[in-house]
Amino acid sequence: MKTDEKTLQRVYRMPFSAVYPHYVTKVEKKGRTKAELHQVIAWLTGFGDADVERHLAKETSFEEFFAEARLNPDAPLITGVVCGVRVEEIEDPVMRQLRYLDKLVDELARGRAVEKILRS
């Protein structure tokens, strides 16, 4: 699926720190923990807690966030629908990586076991 240029530019510039609190709220409302969220983020990006905090403090854009990430080689195993779009059909790499993260957060919030979320 091709995403229009205006949307891509908006998402590229969006700070990770603008979305992160929503991730925390979403998982905590469903009885999951911030530590589990960080475990999912670490699996996908290779970022530890200190890295996440640094990106939050710097207000790193999603484009910069994923440019610095060491994406897990099993990330392409993340499939399904997020926001009405099939993750595996997204053409733009940054948008696809962002949707990978959204999908993992959704699975965590839905109560899926962390061991199953962390595909391998």
CB 53 within 8 A of CB 4: no
**Domain spans, the chain:** 5-117
Residue 8 has pLDDT above 80, yes or no: no
For every residue of 27-79, DSSP letters joined together read HHHTT--HHHHHHHHHHHH---HHHHHHHHHHT-BHHHHHHH----TTGGG--
- For 94, list phi and psi in degrees, rounded to 5: -70, -45
Per-residue pLDDT of 62-113, as tens digits, reads 999 999 999 999 999 999 999 888 999 999 999 999 999 999 999 999 999 9
Per-residue pLDDT of 35-63, as tens digits, reads 999 999 999 999 999 999 999 999 999 99
- For 80, list phi and psi in degrees, rounded to 5: 120, -170
Split at pLDDT 50, 70, 90, the class of 9 is confident
User: What was the pLDDT predicted at 12?
Assistant: 87
d(CA 88, CA 9): 20
Non-local (6+) Cβ contacts of 60 within 8 A are 15, 16, 17, 54, 68
Give the pair of three-digit tokens for residue 80. 């399904």
For every residue of 74-88, DSSP letters joined together read TGGG--SEETTEEGG
User: What was the pLDDT predicted at 6?
Assistant: 81
User: Is CATH 2.40.30.110 what the domain over 5-117 is classified as, yes or no?
Assistant: no
pTM reported for the whole predicted model: 0.91
User: What was the pLDDT predicted at 48?
Assistant: 97
